[in-house]
Amino acid sequence: MFLVHRDDAGADDGFSLYHYHPSIAAAVIVALVFIGITILHFWQLIQKRCWFMIPLATGGILEVIGYAARAKSGQESPNWTLGPYIIQAIFLLVAPALYAASIYMELGRIIVMVEGESRSLIPLKWLTKMFVIGDVVSFFLQAG
């Protein structure tokens, strides 16, 4: 739906950052959606003083920057420069790890709130640490 196949996809003309023409419209739409959602997250974060959700809002900022770089990269098609490509690749890879960290921190708070420490499979003091270590390992595996 958002991918536009290259006309010369069968031609072997060397290295290409993308094997398709990135959709500028899709990147702009997704960036605008993330701007709205991130503004809402920051408003809720400040209004409710849920400081543990800072990684979630930070992930939203990274998504906006990543999709803006993707839109810029789409404008350069087919003569891409490395700058926008590297920015979108890194920022769109890191943001979900920040979302996951927020979810783990929220899970720990929920377990405490419902007094469910005895039913948790992972001891509460290790919960966030284990998941964050797993996220870091998966990030390096994806980056490699």
Of residues 31 and 51, more confidence is placed in 31
Percent of the chain with pLDDT over 90: 42
Number of compact structural domains in the chain: 1
In terms of C-beta distances under 8 Å and separation of at least 24 residues, what long-range contacts does 89-95 make, across chains too? 90/66, 91/62, 91/63, 91/65, 91/66, 92/62, 92/63, 92/66, 92/67, 93/139, 93/142, 93/143, 94/59, 94/62, 94/139, 95/59, 95/60, 95/62, 95/63, 95/66
Of residues 6 and 112, more confidence is placed in 112
Of residues 81 and 113, more confidence is placed in 113
Instruction: Say if residue 60's pLDDT is above 60.
Output: yes
121: domain range? 3-143
Listed in sequence order, the residues at least 6 apart from 93 whose beta carbon sits closer than 8 Å to its beta carbon are 139, 142, 143
The two structure tokens encoding residue 14:
């060397």
Instruction: Say if residue 59's pLDDT is above 90.
Output: yes
Instruction: Say if residue 134's pLDDT is above 70.
Output: yes
Give CA separation, 72 vs 5, 19, 35, 51, 103, in Å.
18, 17, 17, 33, 31
